[in-house]
Chain A
Amino acid sequence: MRYLMFVLLAVLAIPAAAKEPVAKFKTAEARHYTRMEGVELSPEFTDYLYAELRNELVKTKIYAQVIGEGEAVEEADAPASIVIDGVITEYKKGSVVKEVLIGFSSGYRRLKLETTVTRRSDKQSLATLKSQVRIDPRVKETVMAKIAAKQIAKEIKKALEHHEGSA
């Protein structure tokens, strides 16, 4: 019986071990998103988005290290390192009144972001992503940043699946 349990546990552990992703890139540097003219968001929003994005990038486990903005990288690691840069292209505040009276997400807030992923060594663009977040206007801005960061990290992971990181 004990032997059977041991075998069962070992069999169950194999897929879990196989699923563990391997770091494809040595470093990923996230930068603060800039805002296009007319985007009325607080400076704290970009700070929080930056922090959340770094947090989410760590969770994807495809980068050996997620470094802060402006940190130096060893020259040997540069070909397997990426830089994530972005712009907040559009933000609409939404309307609680519209949301209550009409419903069907008509009064939702809308945030549009454009993210560029470049290789550090030769500045080659690896991906350009467009993301959009829609959220209830009663929810805090920072929650919107959290959702956006999660979405961006997921999209970057998907976009980099076919790129060689050689970490």
Chain B
Amino acid sequence: MRTKFLFCVSSLTLTLWILACEPARGNEPKQTKENTISVALAAPVVPQKFAGAPKFAIASVTDRSGNPQPLLVYRPRGGVFLDRQPTEIAREAFEGSLKAAGLLAPDAASVNLVLQIYIFHFGLANGSGLDFFGKVEFAATVKNPKTGESRQVQASGTSIANGAIRKKNIQRNVEANIEAALEDALRNFLRGTQLRDAVVALAKPPENAPATVPAAAPPAADEPSGPKS
């Protein structure tokens, strides 16, 4: 009687274990229409006021996260995927906010400062398990094309959203969370003291400029020239 009972329990445990392992052994989550989210800023971020209202241009957005699957933001339960690369999403967010504030250069001739953006983290990070922890982290090189001088600016944004059990709610919360983290990171960048200091420092002529640049050469200021320093 006891042997029979033990046999039943062990076979039941084995069956449950096989069933539990099935999805894991099964497959990597695959991107479908149902598990894809679209991340975009709800409203452009208002930047701080810069002296001289410089015009920015975004030269490049590079993914330096080292993530082999940048579109996959959440692995369990069939996965949650982004519809575009994080670099595209970030570029769109940057351009949208700068354009709304009138700080995006309309053409190459009017560019005062060039931004090269390096994304170090985009998506969810390890949280407590009770909620979703969204993190967007990037660094930007702000370069004055006329002088060739550049400064590094770092920014990060975080967001914590409620966890969810239903798949529909998981997707909704992950989307809202990444959007909030992106907005926070962009605000941290555009309203940060690091960018303000970089703009002030790069707006100044180089220290040895007065000695080398003659005073009667202002018309050539718009053209990108070689390094003067």
Give Cα A55–Cα B128 distance, bound, in whole angstroms: 14
Residues of B contacting A50 with CB < 8 Å?
158
Q: How far is the CB of A62 from chain B (nearest CB, A)?
A: 19
Q: Verify B193–A71 contact, CB threshold 8 A.
A: yes
Given contacts A68-B187, A71-B187, whether A140 and B158 have CB atoms under 8 Å apart is: no
Chain B residue at minimal CB-CB distance from A68: B188
B160 contacts the other chain (CB 8 A): yes
What are the interface flags for B148-162 relative to A under an 8 Å C-beta threshold, 1 for contact and 0 otherwise?
000000011111100
A40 contacts the other chain (CB 8 A): no
Q: Is the interface of A mostly helix, strand, loop or mixed?
A: helix
Count of A-B residue pairs with CB < 8 Å:
56
Stretch at the interface among B129-137, B210-218, B219-227: B129-137
Give Cα A54–Cα B130 distance, bound, in whole angstroms: 17
Q: How far is the CB of A28 from chain B (nearest CB, A)?
A: 15
Q: Verify B184–A68 contact, CB threshold 8 A.
A: yes
Q: How far is the CB of A155 from chain B (nearest CB, A)?
A: 20
How many residues of chain B are within 8 Å of chain A by beta carbon? 23
What are the interface flags for A28-72 relative to B under an 8 Å C-beta threshold, 1 for contact and 0 otherwise?
000000000000000010011011101100000000000111111
Q: In chain A, residues 1-31, which have Cβ atoms closer than 8 Å to a Cβ of chain B?
A: none
Q: How far is the CB of B11 from chain A (nearest CB, A)?
A: 31
B3 contacts the other chain (CB 8 A): no
Residue in B155, B159, B187, B196 whose beta carbon sits within 8 Å of that of A51 in the complex: B159
Q: How far is the CB of A69 from chain B (nearest CB, A)?
A: 7
Given contacts A68-B187, A70-B194, A71-B192, whether A145 and B128 have CB atoms under 8 Å apart is: yes
Q: Is the interface of B mostly helix, strand, loop or mixed?
A: mixed
Q: Verify B130–A72 contact, CB threshold 8 A.
A: no
Chain A residue at minimal CB-CB distance from B153: A70
Residues of B contacting A52 with CB < 8 Å?
160
What are the interface flags for B112-141 relative to A under an 8 Å C-beta threshold, 1 for contact and 0 otherwise?
000000000000011111100101000000
A146 contacts the other chain (CB 8 A): yes
Q: How far is the CB of A96 from chain B (nearest CB, A)?
A: 18
A143 contacts the other chain (CB 8 A): yes
For the complex of A and B, list the 9 residue pairs with the smallest distance between their C-beta atoms, beginning with the closest: A51-B158, A142-B128, A68-B188, A55-B160, A143-B128, A71-B191, A70-B192, A146-B128, A72-B193
A51-B160, A52-B160, A70-B193 known; 12 new pairs, CB 8 Å cut-off, are A44-B125, A44-B126, A47-B125, A48-B127, A51-B159, A67-B191, A68-B184, A68-B187, A70-B194, A71-B193, A72-B192, A142-B126
